[in-house]
Structure 1
Amino acid sequence: MAEFLEQRISAAIAYGSSWADEYEVRITRTAGGGEYRKLVHPYPVRRFRLIYRADRADVGAKVKNLYDRCYGKFSGFRVKALDDFTTAADGRSAPTKDDQTLLYVSSGVYQLRKEYGKDQAGLAIGRPFRTIFKPVAGTVVVAKNGVLLSSGVSVDTTTGRVTISPAPSYPADVITGGCQFDIPVRFDTTVDVDQLAPNHRQLNNVELVELLAP
C-alpha cells in the first residue's frame, strides 16, 4: 500500500469546480432488455474536479508541489469537501455528540462514520455510509448512551478510530459522535498548467478520487 501524506490540498479553488459521489454497481443487460444489477459495496466514492487560478509563483505552492511529493497518482492526501465536511446532516453545521452512531471495532474501539440519505425511507439493505478515516484534530465529540464523554476518549486522526476507556459494554451501550473531517484522495489525472498571461496560470480539471482504504 502506498504511503499517505497527512496534508490537505489547497482550498483556493475557482468557481466551476465540482464534485460527485458514485456507487460501484455492476449492470448486466439481457437480450430482452432486462437488467441484473449488483451493488459491489455500500460506500459512496467521491470524485472532485478542481480548477485553480493563481499567480505564477503560487501554482507550485498550492498544487504542483503536492503532486510531485505524491508521485502523481501514487500517494494519497486530504481534501476538504466544502459542502460536506462535518457529520451533521447538512454537511456544514457544527458537529454534535448525537450526529452518528459509531461502528464497533473491538473492545473499547469504535470507527467514526457518516450515514447518508437519512431524510427519506431507504432500501431494505440499509443506507450508504462513508467511513471517516481523516477526522480533523480537536473536533471529535463522543457520547455514551447520549451522555457526552469529557474524559477517557482518544482519537487517531490518521484512521478515524476512537478508543474509550474504560471500554463500554457492547452491544448494550450506544456510542455516538460527530466531527469535522477530510476525505482521503489521490490525484486521478496529471496536473496541466495553462499559461494565461506572463504571471498568471490556470490549472484545469485537476481530478481527485476518494480512497476507500487509505
Structure 2
Amino acid sequence: MAFHEIRFPDNISRGARGGPERRTQIVELASGDEERNGAWAGSRRRYDASYGVRRADDLAAVVAFFEARNGRLYGFRWKDWADYKSCLPSGQPAIGDQLIGVGDGETVEFQLAKSYASGAQSYSRPITKPVLGTSVIALDAVEQVAGWAVNTATGIVTFDTAPAEGVLVTAGFEFDVPVRFDTDQLDVTLDIERLGSITSIPLIEIKR
C-alpha cells in the first residue's frame, strides 16, 4: 500500500466534517417487509476537510499537501478530532481502556483495537495507526513498562515473551486514521479579499 507516514495539518482537520459509513443492502418485499444485509463487515470513514480551511495560508497548506501526495496516489494520517483516543473524549488513554487479546502462552503479537458498544452489541475496530509515544500496555491490569513494542505503521503490539495462558492483554492509546484523497482535483477559489476557499476536499479511509 502506497502510504506516507505523515499527518494532515491538525489546525485544518479540527474543523472538518465526517464520520463512519456503513453499506447496507435493503430489499423491500411486496408485503412491505424488508430484508437487510450488511455488505461490509466493518465501517469506513469519510471526511471533508474543506470546512477547516479558514484563510489563504490554510489553502496553500492543503494544496502543498495534496501535491506531495500526488492526489489519490498516496495515503496519509488523519486526526479525527471526534474519535482519536482509546477512551472517552474527555479522558486520557489508560492501561485498561481496550482489551486487545488473551494470552495463550504462544502468541506474541496482538493488534490494537477499539471496541464500540451499545447494549449487548459491539463492534471491534482494528487500529493500525497509533500515535508514537501514546500507547500503554498491561497484562492482567499490571502496566508493562518494558518487554513490548508497538509498530506505529501497523498497530501491532509485539511482546518479547508471550503472555501466559488466560492473561488479559489491555491497552490505551491515541490513534490516527489512514486515509487518502478521494479526488485528483482541487477546486480552489480566491475572492476579492484574497481569502481562499476550496469547495470540497473529500477524504476516504484506507482499508487493508
RMSD: 2.2
Alpha carbons of 1:16 and 1:152: their partners in 2 closer, same or farther (altered >3 Å)?
closer
For 1:71, the equivalent position in structure 2 comes to 70
Question: When you count strand as a share of all residues, which structure comes out higher?
Answer: 1
For 1:197, the equivalent position in structure 2 comes to 192
2: CA distance between counterparts of 1:24 and 1:196? 39
1: CA distance between counterparts of 2:15 and 2:150? 35
For 2:123, the equivalent position in structure 1 comes to 128
2:67 match: secondary structure: helix
- Structure 1-normalised TM-score? 0.86
1: CA distance between counterparts of 2:10 and 2:191? 21
1:99 to 75, 91, 97: 97
For 2:54, the equivalent position in structure 1 comes to 53
Cα shift at 1:108: 0.7
Which residues of structure 1 form unaligned runs of 5+? none
Contact 1:83 1:92 in 2 (8 A): no
Contact 1:104 1:111 in 2 (8 A): no
Alignment of 1:19-168 (within 5 A): 19-50=18-49, 51=51, 52-55=53-56, 57-60=57-60, 62-88=61-87, 90-103=88-101, 107-117=107-117, 120-123=118-121, 127-168=122-163
2: CA distance between counterparts of 1:112 and 1:16? 27
Residues matched between the structures, number: 203
AA aligned to 2:114 is K
Cα shift at 1:64: 1.4
1: CA distance between counterparts of 2:8 and 2:85? 18
2: CA distance between counterparts of 1:13 and 1:116? 27
Contact 2:13 2:81 in 1 (8 A): no
Percent identical residues: 31
Contact 1:14 1:53 in 2 (8 A): no
Alignment of 1:184 with 2:178, yes or no, is yes
